[in-house]
Structure formats: structure tokens, C-alpha cells
Amino acid sequence: MSIETLEIETGPKPAATVIWLHGLGADAHDFEPVVPELRLPAAKPVRFIFPNAPQRPVTINGGMRMRAWYDIFQLGGGVEDEAGIRASQASMESLIAGEIERGIAHDKIVLAGFSQGGAIALHTALRSGQPLAGVMALSTYLPLKNTLEKEKSAANANLPVFMAHGQYDNMIGMDRAMLSRDAMVALGYKVDWHAYPMAHSVCPEEIGAIAAFLLRIL
């Protein structure tokens, strides 16, 4: 599928890219205001790409059409929309390839996402054949986790993983996020885990931790 994107560059001739996916029902503008809050150094410009998920019916919302990276059949897990997840994975791989064609080194590309977007970022990064700089998974979980051991990419075996979650998240429970973290740790991934006293959202302390993570890996 073709993906619409919003791009923001923190300076001329960026040498790194962050592909940042929004959550269910949001759009490419959702995390646009976060870019200046990160206060990244002007001497090392970064390109932020915010893709728009396609419009599709979402089962848990009564079949209402909205921007979604995949369908959700029920809250809290259960049967997953594998076809939708893998289609969005293919779209992210296409965006990664596009950045490499534009001259960005693969190890200067970060995947990031919030909620449903974070699930796609995690799913894609751990399976990508291109060694990436890192992945940021915000208020999310690991989808299709039972297939990861078989499908994980050797190229990203040492991928830096940043996970942040709200202790009062009533959309994606803290326990589900911790199970996802533990599943990755069991497969050898080093997960930089952060928990905050918040609901299904992002807080200033988290933005500071994200900035520190990006400075470290880029």
C-alpha cells in the first residue's frame, strides 16, 4: 500500500531518520509537536517521517473506518490481524528502503511508534533485514510475539530497544507491555525499559528519555 507522510527536518542535509508511527485513529500530525521538544543538536540534523495509516474498518469500534495500521478484534489480546500487521510491516520496509535510497545509512534509521504504531515499529524492526539504529515502542506491546523467535533478524539481534509505558494505562495494560518486554529479553534483546505514572499518553519525563536515547544511538 502507498503511504502518505509528513516530513520535518531539524536542519539541512539530515544524516539520520526517525520514522514515527501514530496510534489508532490519530494521524501523521499527532507527534509533530514533539520534534522541537526533543531539543536535538542543530549540528546533527535529523529527518522525522510521520506516516499516515490507511483508513480501514476497526472491529472494536463497531466497524467504523479510521486510520489504523491493522484491525483490532478485541481489547487485551486474543486473535490478531496478522494480514494487516504484515501489510503495515511491508509499508515500513518500503519507507526504510526509500530513506536508504535518499542517502541515509541503515544504521542511522530509527523506527518509533505510539500504541498501535509502536506495535508495528517493534514488529518491523525486529524482523528487518537492514541493521537499524534502534526502535522506540511507546505505550504498546509486541504483536505476533509467538512468531518472533522464528522470524527475528540476525541483522538486528543487538538492536537497541526503548520501551516506555504508563502505569495507569487502561488501553494497553502495563502487564501486557511487561510480558512483551520479557519476551524480547528472553530472546536476547536489551530493552531500555521506562515506566511513568500516566495513562495511555506521553509525559515530559518520557520525552526527555526519548531525546537521550536518540542522542545515544545516533
pLDDT at position 172 is: 96
The structural domain count of the chain equals: 1
Where residue 170 falls (left for φ over 0; alpha for ψ -120 to 50; beta otherwise) is alpha
Q: Which of 74-88, 167-181, 184-198 comes out lowest in average pLDDT? A: 74-88
> In CATH, what number is assigned to the domain containing residue 148?
3.40.50.1820
Q: What span, in angstroms and rounded, lies between the C-alpha atoms of 202 and 204?
A: 7
Residue 15 pLDDT > 70: yes
Annotated active-site residue in 88, 123, 169, 180? 169
**Which residues, other chains included, contact 134 with Cβ-Cβ below 8 Å and sequence gap of 6+?**
110, 111, 125, 159, 160, 161, 162, 213, 214, 217
Q: What would the pLDDT profile of 24-63 be if each residue is shown by its tens digit? A: 999 999 999 999 999 999 999 999 999 999 999 999 999 9
Q: Which residue is catalytic, options 71, 153, 182, 200? A: 200
Query: Model's pTM, two decimal places?
Result: 0.97
Q: Is 29 a catalytic residue?
A: no
- Domain of residue 182 covers 5-217
- Mark whether 128 is an active-site residue: no
Mean pLDDT of the chain: 96
Q: Please indicate whether residue 22 is annotated as part of the active site.
A: no
Written in H, E and C, the secondary structure of the chain is CCCCEEEEECCCCCCEEEEEECCCCCCCCCCCCHHHHHCCCCCCCEEEEEECCCEEEEHHHCCEEEECCCCCCCCCCCCCCHHHHHHHHHHHHHHHHHHHHCCCCHHHEEEEEECHHHHHHHHHHHHCCCCCCEEEEECCCCCCHHHHHHHCCHHHCCCCEEEEEECCCCCCCHHHHHHHHHHHHHCCCCEEEEEECCCCCCCHHHHHHHHHHHHHHC
Q: Residue 77's pLDDT is what? A: 77
pLDDT at 1: 58
**Is the pLDDT reported for residue 156 higher than 70?**
yes
State how far the Cα of 49 lies from the Cα of 151, in Å rounded to an integer. Answer: 26
What pLDDT does 184 receive? 98
Q: Using alpha carbons, select from 81, 136, 141, 147 the residue that is nearest to residue 113.
A: 136
Model pLDDT for residues 118-146, shown as the tens digit of each residue: 999 999 999 999 999 999 999 999 999 99
Selected catalytic residue, list 115, 128, 139, 180: 115
* Count of C-beta atoms within a 10 Å radius of residue 207: 15
What percent of the chain is modeled with pLDDT above 70?
A: 100
